[in-house]
Structure 1
Amino acid sequence: MAIRVLILIEGHNSNGPPYVQAAQRLGLHPITISADPTQYEYISAGRIESLRVDTDDLNALIRECSRLCTTYDVVGITCPTETFCVTVGKLCRYFDLPGPIPEYIERCCDKFAQRQLLAAAGVPIPAYRLVASGTDVQSSAAEIGLPVIVKPAVGRGSRGVRLCRTVDEVAEHTTYLLGGKHIWPSSPRILVEEFARGPLYSAHILGSEVIGICAADFGPLPHFVYRQFTFPAVLSDDEHERIADVSLKSLRALGLSWGPTNIELRWTKLGPVVIEVNPRLAGALDSNLVQLAYGVDLAAEHVKLVIGEESDLRRSHSLSAATRILIADRDGTVDSIDGESRAAAVPGVVDVKFEIEPKTSIVMKGDHRDCIGYVMAVSPSHAETEVALQRAVDLMSWSITPFPKLGG
C-alpha cells in the first residue's frame, strides 16, 4: 500500500509544527515544499521531509506534486500560513482534492475587496476609503474624521498598520508607506479607516461552526501589536450570540464555507463591528489556547478536512486559558534575560518562552515581529488564570541597552 502523504506548501516556525504533528498523529507522512526549507527550524530538527521548489511558480508546484503522486498516495495539500492559501486552493482544484475556493480566498485577502463585500451584505464595519496617493490619504482622513487607521490594503501581521491621531501623523505614516521603506507584495494601495473603539475579540471558526471567541488586547498605540489573548472571552450569552451571528454573516458574504477562518471584531457602542476576516487559523498561540481550554486541536481538525474526513469539534472539557506576549520596548542590544524557569514553575503556567538571547539586536517594527516571548497559563477560572499569568510575568525580566547615538 502506498504511503499516504500530506503536502504542506511552505512552513511557519510557529504554525508549522502543529500541522506536521497533526499529520503524523493521523498516520500521514508530511512533506513540506518550500523555496527555502532551511528557514524553518523544526524541519531540520525533526527530520521532516522537505523539497526545494519555487513556491511562487504554480506550474513548478504542479509538476512536483504530480511527481509525488507517482510514488505516494497524496491525500491532501494545505499550508500553515495565509500567504499560500490561494496557491493551495488552485492545487487542490487541479488535483481534485478538498480545499478552499481560490477566488474567494484571494478577494478575502484583499482588504478593500473584503470590505466592499461585507458592506454590501450589511455586515457592520468601520468607515473606509481606498487611496493610492498621499494627497488622497489626507483628504480621506479628513472625511472620515481623526483619529484614523492607515494601513496597506494587502498585508498581514499588522505590518504597516498605524493609528494616526493628527494630520501630521497621517502625512508621516503615508510617507513611510509610499517612500520605499514598506515592502509591498503588489501595487501600493492604502486603506484609511475609522478607528473603531471598544474591546477586541477574535472568533475561531472551522467550516461554519464557531468554535469559540477569544478576548484580545493590544500593546501601546499607535501600533497594533498583540499583548494578550484570553480564551474563552468573558461574555454574556447575548454578546456571544451577536458576535457569532455577525461572524457567520461575514463568512456568507465572502463565500467562505470551508476550512478555518479567524475574524477580528470590536465591541463598539453599536455592538460588534468586523475589523478583519482572515481565511486561516489564527496564530499558534491562539490555537494552543483553544486546545487548552476546550480540548479541540484546530490544526488536526483542519487536516481532517483537507484529507476528506469529518472534523470533530466537540469539547472534551471547559477551562480558561490565556497568553501574555512579551514585547520589546526599545531598540538596542539584549544584555540579559532571566526568570524563564521560575515563571515555568508557577502553578497553572503551561508554557514559557523567550524568543531572544543575550547579544541579540532589537529593532522595533511596530508589528508582530516585536514579540520577544510569551507566557501561557490555564486553570478552571478566568481569575485564577490571570493571577498565574501575572505571577509568571513578574518573575521574568530582560534588559536592552540602546544603540549608541550617531556622533555620540
Structure 2
Amino acid sequence: MAKRALILVEGSRSNGLLYVKAAQRLGLHPITLSADPGQYDYLAGKRLDAIRVNVDNLDTLIRECSRLRATYDIAGITGFAGDDESVYATVGKLCRHFDLPGPNPTSIEQCCDKFTQRELLAEAGVPIPAYRLATNAMEVEGFAAEISPPVVLKPAVGSGSIGVRLCRNVEEVAEHTTYMLGGKHTWRSSPRILVEEFVQGPLYVASLMGNDVIGIVAYEYGPPPYFVARECIFPAPLPDDKYTHIAEVSLRSLQALGLGWGPTNIELRWTKRGPVVIEVNPRMAGGDPKLIQLGYGVDLITGHLKLVIGEEWDLRKRYSQTVALRSLVPDRDGILDWIDGDGRAAAVPGIAEVRLYAEPKNPIVRKGNHLDSMGFVIAVSPCLAETEAILQRAVDLINWSIAPFPLVADKNNRGTVQNRY
C-alpha cells in the first residue's frame, strides 16, 4: 500500500514545523514544495522531504504532484503564504484539480486583493475604514488629502505588513509614496496603493476555522509609523458583549467574501462605533495557533490538517489559561554582536517557549514588518496579571548588543556608513 503523503506548498518560519509534526502524528508523510527550501531551517534540520519547484506556476505544481502520486497516496494539499498570499489560491486550484478538500480559489483571490476585499465588505455593510485606490503619486497625495492625515498607505496585494506605513502628514505621504513607486518596494503585481483612514483603537485578531470563531487575540504594535506586533494576549481581555460583537462582525466578513472553509484570521480595531475590520486574511495567523493551544487546549493545526484530508475535527475548548507573547524587536540597525539569556529565560516557571531567530555577527536591518523580530517569549498562567509578570521577568533576562555598521572611506576620504546590507 502506498504511503499517505501531505503536500505542503512553501514553508513557514512560525508554523511550518508545527504542521510537519502534526502531519506525522496523523500518520502522513509531509513533502514540501518550495521555490527555495533552504530558507526553512526546519526542513534541513529534520531531514524532511523538500522539492525545489516554481510555486508560481500552477502547471509545474500539477506535474510535480502527479509525479509524486505515482509513489504516494496524496491525502491532502495545503500551504503557507510567506510574503505572497496568492499561494493559498494556488493551493485551492491544486485541490480542485486533484479532487481534494480545499478552499475556494476565487474567494481567496478576491480576499488577497485588499481593494477588492474592501469593495466586497463595503457592499455587505461591514464596518471598514474609508479607503481609496491609487496607481500614481498624484492620486495617492490627492486621496490622502481627501481622507485627511493620518492615513495608512499599503500595497493592494501583500502580507506581513510589508510596505505598510502610517503617514501622519503630507510630507510622510510623499516620502512613502516615493519609496513605494520609486523602485525600492518589490511589487508582485502592477503597482497599486491603498490609501486608508487610520482607524484608532485597541487591535484584536479573531481566529476562525470554517464558520466557527475559535478565539480572539489582543495585539499591541510597536511605535509608529510601522505596524510591527510587539505583544499578544490570549484570550483577549474582553467583556462578553464586545466579544460577541467582534464575533458577529467577523462572521459577516466571511459571508461577504465567500470564505468559510479552513482557517481565517480577521484584524479589527475597537472604535467609538464598535469593531471596524482592518483586514481579512484567508489563512492562519503566524503565532496564534501556539497561543490558542496553550490557552484553550485547542490544536488548530491538527484540526486544519484533518479538514484537509477529509477527516472530522474537534476544536472544543478543553480549559482556559492566559497566554502572552512578547516579540523581541531591535531598536537600531547594525551588526548583532551577541544575544543571550534565552536559556535563563526558558527556565523561569510559567514560560512555555523562548525562541531566537537572530544569530551573532549577522546584520540587523529593520524593515518595519514582521521580519524585524529577532525571536519571542511566551508565558502562561491562570490569570493575566501573573502571566504578564512572568513574561516580563523572562524578557528582562534576554540581552543583546548591536554594533554600528562599519564605516568605509569614500573617494574623498570621508567616513561613511557602509550600506551594503
Give the TM-score normalised by structure 1.
0.98
Q: What is the correspondence of 1:298-313 to structure 2 with a 5 Å cutoff?
A: 298-313=300-315
Q: How much has 1:70 moved relative to structure 2?
A: 2.2
Give, in whole Å, the separation in 2 of the partners of 1:71 and 1:355: 36
- Hey, what does 1:193 align to over in structure 2? 196
Q: 1:93 aligns with which of 93, 96, 115?
A: 96
Structure 2 residue aligned with 1:154? 157
1:398 maps to what in 2? 400
Matched, 1:172 2:175: yes
Shift of 1:308: 0.6
Which residue is 1:141 aligned to?
144
Q: Is the CA contact (8 Å cut-off) linking 1:343 and 1:392 kept in structure 2?
A: yes
Deviation at 1:71, TM superposition (A): 2.1
| Alignment deviations for residues 360-381 of structure 1 (CA, whole Å, 9 cap, x no partner) | 1111111111111111011111
- The code of the aligned residue for 1:53 comes to V
Q: CA deviation at 1:34?
A: 1.7
RMSD between aligned residues = 1.1
Write the deviation string for residues 8-59 of structure 1: whole angstroms up to 9, x where unpaired: 1111222211111111111111111122222221112111112222211211
SS at match of 1:136: helix
Partner of 2:356: 354
Q: Which amino acid aligns with 2:338?
A: S
**1:371 aligned onto 2:368:** no
C-alpha displacement at 1:357, in angstroms? 2.2
Amino acid paired to 1:383: A
Q: Is the 8 A contact 2:35 2:54 kept in 1?
A: yes
Q: Which residue of 2 aligns with 1:248?
A: 251
Percent identity over paired residues: 65
2:129 matches 1:126: yes
1:130 aligned counterpart, secondary structure: strand
Q: Distance in 1 between matches of 2:71 and 2:337?
A: 51
The reply on whether 1:237 has 2:240 as its aligned counterpart is: yes
3-state SS of 2:328 partner:
strand
SS in structure 2 of the partner of residue 22 of structure 1: helix
Deviation at 1:134, TM superposition (A): 0.5
**Structure 2 CA distance, aligned partners of 1:303 and 1:353?**
25
* 1:296 aligned partner: 298
Asked if 1:330 corresponds to 2:332, the answer is yes
Q: Are positions 1:181 and 2:184 aligned together? A: yes
1:395 maps to a residue whose letter is L
The answer for the alignment partner of 1:268 in structure 2 is 271
User: Is the 8 Å Cα contact of residues 335 and 361 (structure 2) preserved in structure 1?
Assistant: yes
Q: Is the 8 A contact 1:6 1:74 kept in 2?
A: yes
Task: Render the CA deviation track for 1:126-179: whole Å, top value 9, x for unaligned.
Answer: 000000111111110111111000111111110111100110000000000000
> Is 1:196–1:268's contact at 8 Å kept on the other side of the alignment?
yes
Gaps in structure 2 of 5+ consecutive residues: 409-413, 416-421
Distance 2:265 2:70 in 1: 36
Tell me what 1:63 maps to.
63
Superposition deviation, residue 404 in structure 1 = 4.1
Please point out which of 220, 223, 243 is paired with 2:223.
Answer: 220
| Per-residue deviation, residues 317-362 of structure 1 (Å, max 9, x unmatched) | 1111110001111111112223212211211111112222221111
The one-letter code matched in structure 2 to 1:300 is T
Question: Which deviates more, 273-282 or 73-82?
Answer: 73-82
**1:253-278 per-position Cα deviation (integer Å, ceiling 9, x unaligned):** 00001000000000011110000000
Ranges in structure 1 where 5+ consecutive residues have no aligned partner: none
CA contact (8 A) 1:112 1:191 kept: yes
Q: Which residue of 1 aligns with 2:208?
A: 205
Q: CA-to-partner distance for each residue in 1:220-246, whole Å, 9 max, x for gaps?
A: 100000001111000000000000000
3-state secondary structure, aligned to 1:358: coil
Contact 1:19–1:80 at 8 Å: present in 2 too?
no
Structure 1 segments of 4+ aligned residues over 4 angstroms from their partners: none
CA distance in 1, matches of 2:16, 2:355: 17
Contact 2:86–2:109 (Cα < 8 Å) also in 1: no
Amino acid at match of 1:8: L
Equivalent residue, structure 2, for 1:37 = 37
Are the equivalent residues in 1 in contact too, given 2:216–2:235 (CA < 8 A)? yes
Deviation of the 1:83 alpha carbon: 4.2
Deviates more, 1:22-31 or 1:209-218: 22-31
Secondary structure at the counterpart of residue 210 of structure 1 = strand
Are the counterparts in 1 of residues 325 and 379 from structure 2 also a CA contact under 8 Å? yes
Aligned residues of 1:265 and 1:276 also touching (Cα < 8 A): yes
Greater CA deviation, 79-88 or 324-333? Answer: 79-88
Verify: 1:15 aligned to 2:18, yes or no. no
Q: Give, in whole Å, the separation in 2 of the partners of 1:332 and 1:83.
A: 33
The range that moved more, 234-243 or 305-314, is 305-314
